Amino acid sequence: MPEIDPSAFIHPLAAVIGHLFIGKKVMVSPFASVRGDEGQPIFIGDESNVQDGVVIHGLVTEHNGCLIEKNRVEVEGKTYSVYIGNRVSLAHQVQIHGPARVDDDAFIGMKTLVFNATVGKNCVIEPCCILMGVHVRDGRYVPAGTVLKDQKKADNLPAITDDYPFKDLNKGVVQVNTSLAEGYNEKSGSQGLN
């Protein structure tokens, strides 16, 4: 069964099942699907948001009682199918398919796929990207529509600078969604499906 912090809000039209952890003030929006069943566990850190139509799932992580390590990611000595850090925004229709890791303060743009990949801290992945088999270093951005499957290209991604127009985008998105989670919980007197 999912372990969901009482301050999180899971919309009644979202599907949240299996072995997973959802942190404080997380907002899971309508039609999102977070499935910690085939690939498990899934971790979603504090103040992150899982917007409308997002799918979080993973490749099978256990077979006949044996762990399948290649289908897991390690974070601070623990392994997960999918790890989403703190204050991460997963915008509308994003797919995060494990093994995958998205570190703190990252923004993943609409209709992006992250599969068998990691995204570092303070990154912006603009809309409609595909990231497969790569690691995006901290503080980088991926331009809209990029298909990124080569680590050399990932190593040469542009750094986020003060003149990058989406530099502070995630801060506002996180603020709005944590406020929504608090407001919905206050209004309903519960945590949605909690």
**Per residue in 94-108, pLDDT tens?**
999 999 999 999 999
Q: What's the pLDDT tens digit per position in 77-90? A: 999 999 999 999 99
Separation CA 123–CA 114 (nearest Å): 13
Average pLDDT over residues 131-151: 98
Residue 90's CB: how many other CB atoms inside 10 A?
32
What is the per-residue pLDDT for 187? 81
For residue 118, give the amino acid letter.
Answer: T
Whether 190 shows a pLDDT value over 90: the answer reads no
Q: Is 169 helix (H, G, I), strand (E, B) or coil?
A: helix
Where does the pLDDT of residue 189 fall: very low under 50, low under 70, confident under 90, or very high at 90 and above?
low
Whether 126 shows a pLDDT value over 90: the answer reads yes
- Domain limits of the chain? 3-188
What is the per-residue pLDDT for 194? 47
Mean pLDDT, rounded, of the chain = 95
Its CATH class, for the domain covering 3-188, is mainly beta
Q: Catalytic annotation on 38?
A: yes
Q: What's the pLDDT tens digit per position in 14-37? A: 999 999 999 999 999 999 999 999
Whether 119 shows a pLDDT value over 50: the answer reads yes
Where does the pLDDT of residue 188 fall: very low under 50, low under 70, confident under 90, or very high at 90 and above?
confident
Separation CA 59–CA 139 (nearest Å): 28
Q: 51 phi and psi, to 5 degrees?
A: -85, 180
CB 89 within 8 A of CB 108: yes
Catalytic site residue from 3, 38, 74, 126: 38
Q: Which long-range contacts (CB under 8 A, 24 or more apart) does 175-182 make?
A: 177/27, 177/47, 177/49, 177/51, 177/89, 178/25, 178/27, 178/47, 178/49, 180/9, 180/27, 181/7, 181/8, 181/9, 181/25, 181/26, 181/27, 182/7, 182/9, 182/25
Whether 192 shows a pLDDT value over 80: the answer reads no
Whether 71 shows a pLDDT value over 60: the answer reads yes
DSSP state of 112: -
